[in-house]
Amino acid sequence: MLLAVNDLRTSFFTYAGEVKAVDGVSFSLDEGEAVALVGESGCGKSVTALSIMGLINPPGKILSGSIVFNGRDLIRLSERELRHIRGNEIGMIFQDPMTSLNPVLSIGTQIIEVRRLHQGLRGRVARQRAVELLSMVGIPSPGERLRQYPHQFSGGMRQRVMIAMALACQPKLLIADEPTTALDVTIQAQIIELMKELQAQLGMAIILITHDLGVVAGLAKKVYVMYAGRIVESGSVDRIYYHARHPYTWGLLASVPRLDDKPKKRLVPIQGQPPDLLAPPPGCAFASRCRYAMRICVQENPALLPSSDDAEHRVACWREDPEAAAFIGASRGGVA
């Protein structure tokens, strides 16, 4: 087990009140495994990632839970110990490659900096290694590019630079926070393909964070669907894509455009808005948008439990409850 996040709770204490951005999230991954955290904006995916990195700033705070990485609980490490892990054992790339690189430092400086910090690599060796990294992520004429500045790179190339930087110290885990969201569709495919190749080559584990189920399938083996700070469904890519049980996951899947759709077919949006995390509803957070909601859905939050036919496939939905199954069975046809 490389990483085990257990019952993580991270809140932001704003003037308006406590925002429970991550509210009891648990998941784990093995060495070399790739998983995806999926959900719409504000569901807590990025806060989960930043919690793992120890980069939650005030007014945010990790309230409880544990993040065990390589046998050590990151939440209990000192800032100094965490710094040794960041960039060294866990690399991270971010959503917007346009703004995530420092505009006033050359690409070379920014890449070499990581190696120098964690491995004391300097001078020509460091430059040589940076050139290797750039060519590894598929940047042509890397020697020349090293001296250039971020504004001289295209968006896709900058994301490649970000990946090179994150992988500079050969981390065991790469966290990719919406790595393709700011890119063109064709470039998205290239970046995912690159990450896949690098994973095969270097064997690092990957946490892919995205709102786009379309990019998940190429890379991750396992998917965690998040909604309003909680995991509502998890399972293998196959289970989530073809046997999803949670109405929210259905909604996410329906909102992905498909190549074999009829032309001009409208995308199906999920109706309504995500709940206000300042005052979350008492029951299931998705209930107000769910067309299958029952009375209990607005009263009590469902637990994340193994589904009836696959223990690895877990769902947090009252419809999975044996009693509800009887009810749904009785009224089938009347609801859906």
Residue ranges binding another protein (CB under 8 A): 53, 55, 83-88, 91-92, 94, 96, 99-106, 113-114, 117-118, 149, 151, 162, 165-166
Task: Give least dist CB 151 to another protein, A.
Answer: 5
In 3D space, the residue among 207, 40, 179, 38 whose CA is nearest the CA of residue 100 turns out to be: 179
Task: Give least dist CB 109 to another protein, A.
Answer: 9
Q: At what angle do helices 123-136 and 155-166 cross, to 10 degrees?
A: 130
Task: Give least dist CB 146 to another protein, A.
Answer: 14
Q: Which residues are CB-neighbours of 80 under 8 A, at least 6 positions away?
A: none
- CA distances in angstroms from 297 to 75, 150, 304, 316, listed in the order given: 33, 49, 14, 11
Task: Give least dist CB 39 to another protein, A.
Answer: 20
Q: Considering beta carbons, is residue 88 or 301 the nearer one to another protein?
A: 88
As a whole number of angstroms, the distance between CA 269 and CA 300 comes to 26
As a whole number of angstroms, the distance between CA 248 and CA 137 comes to 36
Q: Considering beta carbons, is residue 96 or 212 the nearer one to another protein?
A: 96
Q: Considering beta carbons, is residue 136 or 162 the nearer one to another protein?
A: 162
DSSP state of 72: E
In 3D space, the residue among 14, 24, 16 whose CA is nearest the CA of residue 62 turns out to be: 24
Task: Give least dist CB 90 to another protein, A.
Answer: 8
Q: Considering beta carbons, is residue 50 or 290 the nearer one to another protein?
A: 50
Q: Considering beta carbons, is residue 162 or 207 the nearer one to another protein?
A: 162
Tokens 């877990």 correspond to 314
Task: Give least dist CB 142 to another protein, A.
Answer: 19
Q: Considering beta carbons, is residue 112 or 223 the nearer one to another protein?
A: 112
Query: What are the backbone angles phi and psi of residue 297, rounded to the nearest 5°?
Result: -60, -35
Task: Give least dist CB 94 to another protein, A.
Answer: 6
Q: Considering beta carbons, is residue 76 or 84 the nearer one to another protein?
A: 84
DSSP letters, 86-141, are BTTTEEEE-S-TTTSS-TTS-HHHHHHHHHHHHH---HHHHHHHHHHHHHHTT-SS
Q: Which residues are CB-neighbours of 39 under 8 A, at least 6 positions away?
A: 45, 211, 225, 226, 227, 252
Q: Considering beta carbons, is residue 166 or 232 the nearer one to another protein?
A: 166
As a whole number of angstroms, the distance between CA 192 and CA 150 comes to 21
Length of the chain counted residue by residue: 336
Task: Give least dist CB 55 to another protein, A.
Answer: 6
Residue 131: other Cβ atoms inside 10 A: 19
